[in-house]
Structure formats: structure tokens, C-alpha cells
Amino acid sequence: MTKHQLETLSFDNSYARLPEALSAKLNPTPFSEPPHLVSFNPAAAELIDLDPEQAKRQEFAAVFGGSMLAPGMEPLAMLYSGHQFGVYVPQLGDGRAILLGEVRNERGEKWDLHLKGAGLTPFSREGDGRAVLRSTIREYLCSEAMFGLGIPTTRGLCIVGSDHQVYREQIETGAMLVRMAPSHVRFGSFEILYYRKQHDQLKVLADYVIAQHYPHLVDASDKYTRFFSEVVERTGRLIAQWQAVGWAHGVMNTDNMSILGITLDYGPFGFIDDYDPGFICNHSDHNGRYAFNQQPYIGLWNLSCLAQALLPLAQKEELKAALDRYTPLCEERYMELMRAKFGLIETKEEDASLIQDLLALMQLHHVDYTNLFRALSLFQTGIESLNESLRDFFSDRDSFDQWARRYKNRLREEGSRDEDRLTRMNHVNPKYVLRNYLAQTAIEKAQKKDFSEIDRLLTLLHNPYSDQPGMEAYAAPPPNWGKHLSVSCSS
């Protein structure tokens, strides 16, 4: 495989050739202070055949810090609207992000390079168009953590920082994040054209997305219905994965929902520590609309908004039939994932109550979600075994013992072998996730110009299912200060 230099990356921007109603063409605004590389992700660079040695060049920070363009870039801010906390907002758009262009790798795969924190755009509203170091680190690390977990997501190529001052609740330093995805088109990209009654442009956008990302549908007579049906399926499977791994998005507005069914826009996200189905990771979400246990329903609600936006292109009854598939599909996928987390191979009707009853015990006894499931792989089915290490997670051991007898019987029924099950379960129950306190530790070091913890976490989170020597501390539950970190949309 040829490793490209910055100058030889083959940039294009097919989105720039769509109607002007969909974007505004403009260049990034450079920092007022010189840019410097904070972190570089070789795994993401490999997706565009970029030589990692290029990150050492001064030009690299200049290009991805907004002060230089590489050949072929056609920067633009994407326009969209969306339902925010259930209320339709007629115009949103990239208020601090710019699509630099797209790169095809030697395998023919297309990757958008999107520069977040790139300065004011026509869609900035009241904002300053900037991102702060704190938020770029969180998104960069979490997108790579999700990739490591096997969950569809945008990717993070690099963070470029500066001493440029940005005003939030306090003065912080600015940074830019280069995020990558096959597309950054959202549900809201369709909504704005529907509500503006720009149905011709709506058709152009739908045809573009289908041709680029659902090419097997191009010649179908019912391609718009089938396109929506596939978005329903991808979204349902995605949210089932979020639920199984114990992750909350925090701001599931329709403008933060990917048309490809990938995790998009990491703001006030959070992995659950002590299991709490009502977990709210965004302290601005006062009514709990986007609480952890609401995510499957919100996925349905958001898809219904997309279905409405597609009404000029497809029959209402057909769109509704596609939408009706969402809930059973999401629930079925969730149960598949949870059976795997419990080490179950066969499907039995009583599995739902077995799973829910353990989750209820975990909630009652404030049990760490990630660590309990990792430890559950060590469960022994021998008659004499009391599974002491697992009992210690629960303050009421008798309640766990009652559940454990049911679980032991269930495993024996399908002839489960402890050693085989341990291997299977460790492939689906991560040892490491990006807990808020781990991200906060990396942020605080980075604010003192020590970026080593970012790179350490990046390496760790790419292999979350493997025991990594010397990294046991990163699997620990949060210290007391780490349980009460406040995360909001402010970035």
C-alpha cells in the first residue's frame, strides 16, 4: 500500500457539487496563536493511507489547524436543521465545523475530513465557532473507544491545539479536531429541505446519499422507502449496542443522528459507572429526555422525524411500515448482545427475566456495570462454587445467591463449559471503557501541555477487551471525585 504525503492525498468534495441550499463555502479561520499537534491517531491515518511520518511536519498542524489548505480541498459548512430536545429549530448547520473535503483510499473507500472548531460560519448563531481543548479530547478519545468496542462511529484523526483563548464558563485554550466518517449527513439535513418545501433539493440530497452510501438501491423503483428502511435498521442496531455497553449519548437531537447509523457528535456523553437505567449524562438535560433508558424510544422518535421529511419522496404507509420494524429490531438485537454478555448460546424465553433481574440487583446495590460483566465471565458452574468474588459486588449477598442459582441452572441446561464461556464473554465484555474521570485526567494534564495521557488512553481503548499489563488501574471504578463530574453541551 502506498503511504501518501499531505501533498499527495487525493482530496475531492462531492458535497460541494450539490445545490447551494445545502452548504456555505468558506475556509477555516486560523487560530490567533501558532498551532501545535496535541495528538495523532495512526489507526485513523491508515484509513486514508496517510504516512504517520507526515504528522511530524510543521505543515501538518497548519493544514489541520485551519491555516493552510491541501490541494483539492473545497471547504464548506453543511446546512441542516433539527429537533433539539423535541422542539424543531428551523436552521442549525455547522456552526463551528467545516468539511474540508473527502479522501479515497486505495481500496476505494471515501472518508470525509471534518474540522471541528474551525471558526465562525454563517450558521454559528450566537457561538464563536471555536471548540476548546477539553471537548476535543473527549470526542477524540470516545470516538476511538467506540471503534475499539466495535460500535459504528466517526473516527478521530488528530487534535491540533493553540494558546488561542476561548471564552466559556472560564477562559480556555482553543483546539481543532479532525473527525472522519464516510458521511456527515444527518437526519436534520433532510428535515430542513422538507420544512422549507425545497422538495427538488430534497430529492437531490436523497439521490446523492443513496448513490454514495446505498448504491445497491440506485435502480430500485422504491429506493426511497428501502433507503429509509435501511436507516431504520442501522439506527436500531446502533442504539442496541449503546444500551448493551452501557453508553449514553446525551444529546440525541435529530441533527446529531447520522444517516449512516454511526455514532455522531460526542458532547456530554457518558459510560455508566454504577448501574442506573435512568442515568443522565448531560446536566443540561433537566427533564431526562435523553436519559440512558430513553435512548431506544428517542431513536424511534427521531426516525419518525426523518420519515416525515421523506414524505415528498415515498408513500406514507410504506414509510410507516418501515418505521414499525424499529422497536422489535432494536429489542431483538439488544437481547442478542445481552445473551452474549451473559455467555448464553441458546435462546430461551426466560432469558429476559434472568437478565433484567440481575440488572435490577445491580441498580439496587450500586454495582459497577462494566466491571460486573467482566467479572461474570469468571462465574463457575461447579456445585460447590459460591462465586465469592461476584458476591462481593453486592451488599445483599443472599439476593445475588438466589439469582446465581438460576444462572447456574441456565448454563448447565445448555452444557456450558466454564473455560469456553470465559473466552467468549471476554470478547464482548470490555475491561476498559472511557470513564469520565479517565478523560478528565487526560484533559487536566493536557491543559498543562502534557499530552502523554491522551496517547496512553488512545492505545488502551483500541483494545478494550484485552488484559493489558500495567494498566489495571484504568479498569478501576471511579474515585469519589470522578463520580460527580458535570458534563454539559458547553464546549
**Segment 308-344, tens digit of pLDDT:** 999 999 999 999 999 999 999 999 999 999 999 999 9
Main-chain phi, psi angles of 105, to 5 degrees? -85, 180
Which listed residue (94, 112, 255, 285) is catalytic?
255
Whether 165 and 30 share a structural domain: yes
Is 455 catalytic? The answer is no
Average pLDDT over residues 11-40: 94
Asked whether residue 491 carries a pLDDT value surpassing 80, the answer given is: no
Res 119: pLDDT: 94
Whether 169 and 214 share a structural domain: no
Lowest mean per-residue pLDDT among 36-40, 259-263, 384-388: 384-388
Whether 194 and 108 share a structural domain: no
215-264: per-residue pLDDT in tens?
999 999 999 999 999 999 999 999 999 999 999 999 999 999 999 999 99
Q: In sequence order, what DSSP letters do the residues of 77-120 get, joined into one string?
A: EEP--EEETTEEES----SSEEEEEEEE-TTS-EEEEEEET---
Asked whether residue 489 carries a pLDDT value surpassing 70, the answer given is: no
Residues 467/166, Cβ–Cβ less than 8 Å: no
Residues 293/356, Cβ–Cβ less than 8 Å: no
Whether 51 and 65 share a structural domain: yes
Domain boundary among 270, 303, 336: 336
Whether 289 is covered by a domain: the verdict is: yes
Confidence label for 481 from pLDDT (cuts 50, 70 and 90): confident
Res 1: pLDDT: 58
Asked whether residue 95 carries a pLDDT value surpassing 60, the answer given is: yes
390-418: per-residue pLDDT in tens?
999 999 999 999 999 999 999 999 999 99
Whether 351 is covered by a domain: the verdict is: no
DSSP state of 274: B
Asked whether residue 2 carries a pLDDT value surpassing 70, the answer given is: no
Res 416: pLDDT: 94
Asked whether residue 8 carries a pLDDT value surpassing 80, the answer given is: no
Asked whether residue 44 carries a pLDDT value surpassing 80, the answer given is: yes
Whether 64 and 172 share a structural domain: yes
Average pLDDT over residues 462-477: 96
Res 405: pLDDT: 95
Asked whether residue 133 carries a pLDDT value surpassing 60, the answer given is: yes
Instruction: Taking the CA atoms of 434, 491, 179 and 176 in sequence, report the sign of the dihedral they define.
Output: negative
Res 327: pLDDT: 98
Whether 390 is covered by a domain: the verdict is: no
Q: How many domains, in total, are found in the chain?
A: 2
Whether 254 and 324 share a structural domain: yes
Domain boundary among 284, 305, 336: 336
Residue 246 lies in domain: 188-336
Confidence label for 488 from pLDDT (cuts 50, 70 and 90): low
Whether 475 is covered by a domain: the verdict is: no
Buried b (16+ CB within 10 A) or exposed e, 226-237: bbbbbbbbbbbb
Whether 389 is covered by a domain: the verdict is: no
Lowest mean per-residue pLDDT among 114-128, 218-232, 262-276: 114-128
Res 386: pLDDT: 80
Whether 35 and 117 share a structural domain: yes
Res 7: pLDDT: 76
Whether 324 is covered by a domain: the verdict is: yes
Res 188: pLDDT: 98
Whether 71 and 100 share a structural domain: yes
Average pLDDT over residues 15-29: 94
Whether 122 and 196 share a structural domain: no
Domain boundary among 336, 356, 375: 336
**Strands, E assignment, 251-384:** 270-271
Asked whether residue 347 carries a pLDDT value surpassing 90, the answer given is: yes
Residues 75/100, Cβ–Cβ less than 8 Å: yes
Q: Which of 457, 466, 479, 455 is nearest to 430 (CA)?
A: 466
Whether 27 and 70 share a structural domain: yes
167-209: per-residue pLDDT in tens?
888 899 999 999 999 999 999 999 999 999 999 999 999 999 9
Tell me which of 290 and 10 has the higher pLDDT: 290
Whether 122 and 220 share a structural domain: no
Residue 109 CB contacts under 8 Å (≥ 6 apart), including other chains: 47, 182
Average pLDDT over residues 49-75: 93
Confidence label for 6 from pLDDT (cuts 50, 70 and 90): confident
Res 485: pLDDT: 75
Res 483: pLDDT: 78
Whether 436 is covered by a domain: the verdict is: no
Cell digits of residue 65: 489547524
Res 121: pLDDT: 96
Whether 218 and 177 share a structural domain: no
Average pLDDT over residues 73-84: 96
